[in-house]
Amino acid sequence: AQKVTQAQTEISVVEKEDVTLDCVYETRDTTYYLFWYKQPPSGELVFLIRRNSFDEQNEISGRYSWNFQKSTSSFNFTITASQVVDSAVYFCALSEVYTGRRALTFGSGTRLQVQP
Amino acid sequence: DGGITQSPKYLFRKEGQNVTLSCEQNLNHDAMYWYRQDPGQGLRLIYYSQIVNDFQKGDIAEGYSVSREKKESFPLTVTSAQKNPTAFYLCASSGQAPKGESGANVLTFGAGSRLTVL
């Protein structure tokens, strides 16, 4: 069965520091998708990125970057020069293509606190 | 603007009572989902529905029931059989994945409903 592990429960950094959120996944599918979502204090999850299992290119979007490594089953998320507005809970999620279930499996989340 | 509306935002229930959480979407999405969020446990799937009049159990369906009579609506009933119902409940929806990309659906979430059992 699929599983997503986010070992870091909570991270606290000072503004302008770089921070990496770890995500490790397990799946038996050869084809799958990985996601990151942000949950600000308001509670609503916001989609950040989706990656399919055939695309191992790293992606950068402004201060955000993602490192996908199939060899270690990891999909880590780095925020460069963190800001207070980055404070939120971040979730990594997995969706398999060939299982009958068409729903995301989420990790337990990492709470990021960015101090001014 | 299109989106997902969950109501009520906060709900208090006495033990032994059933309660129904509403989820409505105007995104014309086929699929809808209910997740439960507890501190330190992330989001766990309760039920999901890929199409009207059809739904599937997720990982923690016991004590919950759903219906999908209309495309835009997917209400969740928390029954008295649910032993620990206090939690934050999130509804989501997704459209059709591009052809050949099953599993690629991006979920759009509502703002959630917080249920507290007194």
Whether A47 sits inside 8 A of B48 (CB atoms) is no
Q: Which two tokens stand for residue B95?
A: 């459209």
Q: What type of residue sits at position B33?
A: Y
Facing residue for A42 by CB, picked from B40, B41, B111: B111
Q: What SS3 state is found at A71?
A: helix
Model confidence at B102, in pLDDT bands (50, 70, 90)? low
* Interface probe, candidates A24, A55, A90, A108, chain B, greatest B C-beta count within 10 A: A108
> Are B64 and B48 spatial neighbours (Cβ–Cβ below 8 Å)?
no
Query: CB of A6 within 8 Å of any CB in chain B?
Result: yes
Nearest CA among A16, A36, A105 for reference residue A77:
A36
CA end-to-end span of chain B: 36
Which one-letter amino acid corresponds to residue A78? T
Q: What is the pLDDT of residue B99?
A: 67
pLDDT grade for A100, boundaries at 50, 70 and 90: low
- The torsion defined by the Cα of A96, A62, A78 and A60, in degrees rounded to 10, comes to 50
Contact A95 B112 (CB under 8 A): no
pLDDT in tens, A75-96: 999 999 999 999 999 999 999 8
* Mean pLDDT lowest among A24-33, A36-45, A74-83, B90-99: B90-99
Any residues with CB less than 8 A from the CB of B42 and at least 6 apart, and which? A4, A6, A91, A106, A107, A108, A109
Cα B18 versus chain centre, distance: 16
Say if the Cβ atoms of B45 and A108 lie within 8 Å: no
Kindly report the number of other CB atoms within 10 A of residue B70's CB atom.
11
Work out whether strand A105-106 and strand A19-21 pair parallel, antiparallel, or are unpaired: unpaired
Distance from CA of B42 to the nearest CA of A (A): 4
Is residue A48 a contact partner of residue A36, using CB atoms and an 8 Å limit?
yes
- pLDDT (0 to 100) of residue B109: 95
Touching check for A64 and chain B: CB below 8 Å? no
Contact between chains at A102 and B112 (C-beta distance less than 8 A): no
What are B6-64's pLDDT values in tens digits? Answer: 999 999 998 889 999 999 999 999 999 999 999 878 899 999 999 999 999 999 999 99
pLDDT at position A47, please? 95
In chain A, residues with a C-beta closer than 8 Å to the C-beta of B99 are: none
